[in-house]
């Protein structure tokens, strides 16, 4: 692959031809703020926060959509660039609720981080503010369009990753907003599958999971790497844990598997973990079949009873009368051992598995 050499903040950098100035700066360890950019989504250049100064080029181009060129000289923190970023942040905050004290995104909000970084208070401009009602008629997440900064990441994630195009930009100027067709709620529109990928890419508090509301601040969570157990894909996930309880799940950006994207079950279907109906001890039926009476037993007693009953059925009806169902919530190794037990011990090939939970 051809390479080009350019200068960024006085540092000579050699990078592959065709990549963006933003990527080149990152490879050199140089920070450039972004709000609308995501490596997994198509470049857009809408927020303009990543503007840089390039010698010989008019204006301040967005680094996320500007390709590198041989001999290019880039300044990422010149006075003009800093002033432009401050102005962009001031304009965003002029119509953004400043309720960081109670916002669930506080501590993980890029707009908050950048306002602090550049010393922008948000009181530079006064004028009309949006007052949209909260959209909370679905069971998974809340949409607060008053906090939306129109970065477009949710729109691209829905179209490019999930393939639904359930939302897009509507109206113009000050009234521009992200909405389903006909400006109804996601539930009313019917196109959304509530995968929540839009929630994960949102850089502010416009989209918030209902299950994590008032469950803790972002800096209080212990983040635990894990694997989703709903199907055989094995999506990498991050569990957000506080006081021994999982309160939120996000996709882990492992490009070899799911690259951070999840389905509705993997992201929101974790309530079974702490369900009061979840069995924690083996139970043995004590009454007649259908009576619903059980007693707790040890694992040794329960396994002995299972082995005895399987032996009786096999001797009376033959091994083909038995069948084994594996589970997606087990590891590959556990499922291998289970089918080995079925074929080698029980003597049956009736082994099945269903990942469509």
- Average pLDDT score over residue span 86-96: 96
pLDDT of residue 215 exceeding 60: yes
Do residues 127 and 175 both lie within one domain?
yes
**Structurally, how many domains does the chain consist of?**
4
Tell me the per-residue pLDDT of 98-135, one tens digit each, with 9 for 90 and over.
999 999 999 999 999 999 999 999 999 988 999 999 99
Lookup result for tokens 């990928």: 197
Do residues 313 and 260 both lie within one domain?
no
User: Within its chain, how far is the Cα of 204 from the centroid?
Assistant: 13
Whether residue 113 lies inside any domain: the answer is no
Do residues 201 and 337 both lie within one domain?
no
Q: Average pLDDT over the chain, rounded to whole?
A: 94
pLDDT of residue 356 exceeding 70: no
Tell me the per-residue pLDDT of 33-71, one tens digit each, with 9 for 90 and over.
999 999 999 999 999 999 999 999 999 999 999 999 999
Do residues 178 and 229 both lie within one domain?
yes
Do residues 142 and 247 both lie within one domain?
yes
pTM of the model: 0.87
Whether residue 112 lies inside any domain: the answer is no
Whether residue 102 lies inside any domain: the answer is no
Tell me the per-residue pLDDT of 222-231, one tens digit each, with 9 for 90 and over.
999 999 988 8
Whether residue 110 lies inside any domain: the answer is no
pLDDT of residue 285 exceeding 80: yes
Do residues 308 and 235 both lie within one domain?
no
Kindly state the percentage of the chain with pLDDT values over 70. 99
pLDDT of residue 232 exceeding 80: no
How confident is the model at residue 287, as a pLDDT?
Answer: 77
Q: How far apart are alpha carbons 135 and 188 in whole angstroms? A: 11
Put residue 282 in one of left, alpha, beta given phi > 0 → left and psi -120 to 50 → alpha: beta
Do residues 217 and 239 both lie within one domain?
yes
Window from 209-218, 252-261, 263-272 with minimum mean pLDDT: 252-261
Name the phi and psi angles at 109, rounded to 5: -110, 120
Work out the pLDDT band at 251, boundaries 50, 70, 90: very high
The neighbour count for residue 257, using CB atoms within 10 Å, is: 17
Which of 15, 42, 77 is the last residue before a domain boundary? 77
- Average pLDDT score over residue span 255-283: 93
How confident is the model at residue 296, as a pLDDT?
Answer: 94
Put residue 182 in one of left, alpha, beta given phi > 0 → left and psi -120 to 50 → alpha: left
Lookup result for tokens 């729109």: 155
Q: Is 225 exposed, middle or buried (0-12, 13-18, 19+ CB in 10 A)?
A: exposed
Higher pLDDT, 123 or 331: 123
Which of 235, 270, 305 is the last residue before a domain boundary? 270
Do residues 167 and 295 both lie within one domain?
no
Token readout for 13 is 């950098």
Whether residue 86 lies inside any domain: the answer is no
Whether residue 84 lies inside any domain: the answer is no
pLDDT of residue 357 exceeding 70: no
How confident is the model at residue 355, as a pLDDT?
Answer: 61
Which of 236, 270, 304 is the last residue before a domain boundary? 270
How confident is the model at residue 330, as a pLDDT?
Answer: 80
Do residues 128 and 162 both lie within one domain?
yes
Do residues 238 and 292 both lie within one domain?
no
Which residues span the domain enclosing 345? Answer: 318-357
357, 328 Cβ separation under 8 angstroms: yes
Whether residue 97 lies inside any domain: the answer is no
CATH number of the domain that residue 47 is part of: 3.10.20.740
Whether residue 98 lies inside any domain: the answer is no
Do residues 247 and 134 both lie within one domain?
yes
Do residues 157 and 223 both lie within one domain?
yes
Give the 3-state DSSP-derived string for the chain, with helices as H, strands as E and coil as C. CCEEEEEECCEEEEEECCCEHHHHHHHCCCCCCCCCCCCCCCCCCCCCCCECEECCCCCCCECCCCECCCCCEEECCCHHHHHHHHHHHHHHHCCCCCCCCCCCCCCCCHHHHHHHHHCCCCCCCCCCCCCCCCECCCCCEEECCCCCCCCCHHHHHHHHHCCCCCCEEECCHHHCEEECHHHCCHHHHCCCCCCCHHHHHCCCCCEEEHHHCCCCCHHHCEEEEEECCCCCCCCEEEEEEECCEEEEEEECCCCCCCCCCCCHHHHHCCHHHHCCCCCCCCEEECCCCCCCCEEECCHHHHHHHHHHHHHHHHHHHCHHHCCEEECCCCCHHHHHHHHHHHHHHHCCCCEEECCCC
Work out the pLDDT band at 97, boundaries 50, 70, 90: very high
Contacting residues for 258 by C-beta, under 8 A, at least 6 apart: 233, 235, 236, 251, 252
pLDDT of residue 292 exceeding 80: no
């Amino acid at each position: 692959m051809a390479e080009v050499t350019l200068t960024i903040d006085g540092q000579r950098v050699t990078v592959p031809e065709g990549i963006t100035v933003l990527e080149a700066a990152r490879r050199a360890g140089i920070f450039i703020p972004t709000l609308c950019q995501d490596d997994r989504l198509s470049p857009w250049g809408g927020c303009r926060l990543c503007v840089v100064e390039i010698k010989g080029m008019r204006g301040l181009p967005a680094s996320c959509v500007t390709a590198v060129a041989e001999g290019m000289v880039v300044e990422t923190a010149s006075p003009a660039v800093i002033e432009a970023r401050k102005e962009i942040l001031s304009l965003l905050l002029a119509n953004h609720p400043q309720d960081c004290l109670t916002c669930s995104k506080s501590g993980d909000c890029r707009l908050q981080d950048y306002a602090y970084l550049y010393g922008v208070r948000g009181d530079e401009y006064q004028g009309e503010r949006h007052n949209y009602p909260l959209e909370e008629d679905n069971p998974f997440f809340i949409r607060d369009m008053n906090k939306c900064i129109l970065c477009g990441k949710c729109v691209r994630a829905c179209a490019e990753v999930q393939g639904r195009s359930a939302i897009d930009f509507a109206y113009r100027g000050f009234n521009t907003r992200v909405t389903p067709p006909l400006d109804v709620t996601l539930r009313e529109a019917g196109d959304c599958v509530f995968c929540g990928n839009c929630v994960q890419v949102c850089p502010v508090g416009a989209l918030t999971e209902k299950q994590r509301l008032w469950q803790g601040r972002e800096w209080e969570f212990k983040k635990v790497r894990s694997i989703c157990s709903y199907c055989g894909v094995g999506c990498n996930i991050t569990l957000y844990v506080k006081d021994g309880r999982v309160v939120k799940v996000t996709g882990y950006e492992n490009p070899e598997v799911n690259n951070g994207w999840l389905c509705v079950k993997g992201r929101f279907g974790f309530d079974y973990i702490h369900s009061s109906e979840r069995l924690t001890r083996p139970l043995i039926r004590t009454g007649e079949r259908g009576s619903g009476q059980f007693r707790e037993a040890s694992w040794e007693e329960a396994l002995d009873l299972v082995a005895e009953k399987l032996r009786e059925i096999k001797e009376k009806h033959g091994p083909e009368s038995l069948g084994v169902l594996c589970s997606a919530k087990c590891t590959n190794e556990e499922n291998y051992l289970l089918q080995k037990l079925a074929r080698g011990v029980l003597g049956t090939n009736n082994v099945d598995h269903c990942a469509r939970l």
